[in-house]
Amino acid sequence: GNSVTQMEGPVTLSEEAFLTINCTYTATGYPSLFWYVQYPGEGLQLLLKATKADDKGSNKGFEATYRKETTSFHLEKGSVQVSDSAVYFCALRGGGSNYKLTFGKGTLLTVNP
Amino acid sequence: DADVTQTPRNRITKTGKRIMLECSQTKGHDRMYWYRQDPGLGLQLIYYSFDVKDINKGEISDGYSVSRQAQAKFSLSLESAIPNQTALYFCATSDYSGGSTDTQYFGPGTRLTVL
């Protein structure tokens, strides 16, 4: 079956530091890949997505590239802000009509001023 | 206004009580989902519905039931709540139009505590 493994947190950074949160996956077929963000006390929000190999998703300064050869979708941001403090979830959706989202366990990011 | 709303946002109840969590959406999506989030476990799918007449069990449906009252409304019930159902519950919607994306959009969540 499908699975997602993301780096365990918590991750603590200073403002303006570079961020990488690793995500690797196992899936059959051609999955779509997602990063969701959950700010404190809120629901999950879609941060970015990529639907095929070599696609780069980007939003709010975050980027992730769908790497089929390494089955990875690492999240990066060049300069984090305090407001980026949240839990980040990597997820995949199987190809075709497969409805199911498979989530990683989440990575808590704390950015200090 | 939010596209996906959940009520209540917080609920404390006692063991054995029947609880209903409600979800409404204005996105016009056919597909709706209920997830449960526990600390350190990510999200687990409870039930999903592809349209009003199509309801399916997810990974962890035991102890839960659902009702799809309309395209825009999908309710989750705990017939007899137990403490290990204490969790954060999320509703989500998506619109499958034959493409591969079928992005899911989440509500704000309901925090349920069973004493």
Mean predicted confidence (pLDDT) in A62-71: 96
Tell me which chain A residues have a C-beta less than 8 angstroms from the C-beta of B94.
99
- The tokens describing A39, both together, are 């700010």
How many CA atoms lie less than 13 Å away from A88 in the CB half-sphere?
30
| Token pair in block for residue A27 | 């899936």
Summarised one tens digit per residue, pLDDT across range B57-83 is 998 999 999 999 999 999 999 999 999
Q: Which residue has the higher pLDDT, A75 or B97?
A: A75
Tell me the C-alpha distance between A105 and A4, whole Å.
8
Q: What percent of chain B has pLDDT over 70?
A: 94
- For chain B, the maximum distance between any two Cα atoms, rounded to a whole number of angstroms, is 44
Q: How far apart are CA B3 and CA A106, in angstroms?
A: 24
Measured distance CA(B90)–CA(A96) in Å, rounded: 24
Query: Contact A102/A32 with Cβ under 8 angstroms?
Result: no
Distance CA A81, CA A70 (A): 29
Question: Smallest Cβ distance to A89: which of B4, B42, B99?
Answer: B42
Answer whether A96 sits within 8 Å of B48, measured CB to CB.
Answer: no
- From chain B, the residues in CB contact with A96 under 8 A are 100
The alpha-carbon gap from B79 to the nearest alpha carbon of chain A, in Å, equals 25
Alpha-carbon distance values, A79 to A58, A82, A110 (Å) = 14, 10, 13
Q: Coil, strand or helix: which one is B87?
A: strand
Cα nearest neighbour of B110 on chain A? A43
CA A43 to chain centre: 15
Helix (H, G, I), strand (E, B) or coil at A1: coil
| Cβ neighbours of residue B29 closer than 8 Å, sequence gap 6 or more | B93, B94, B95, B105
Confidence of residue B99 (pLDDT cuts 50, 70, 90): low
Mean pLDDT of A73-91: 97
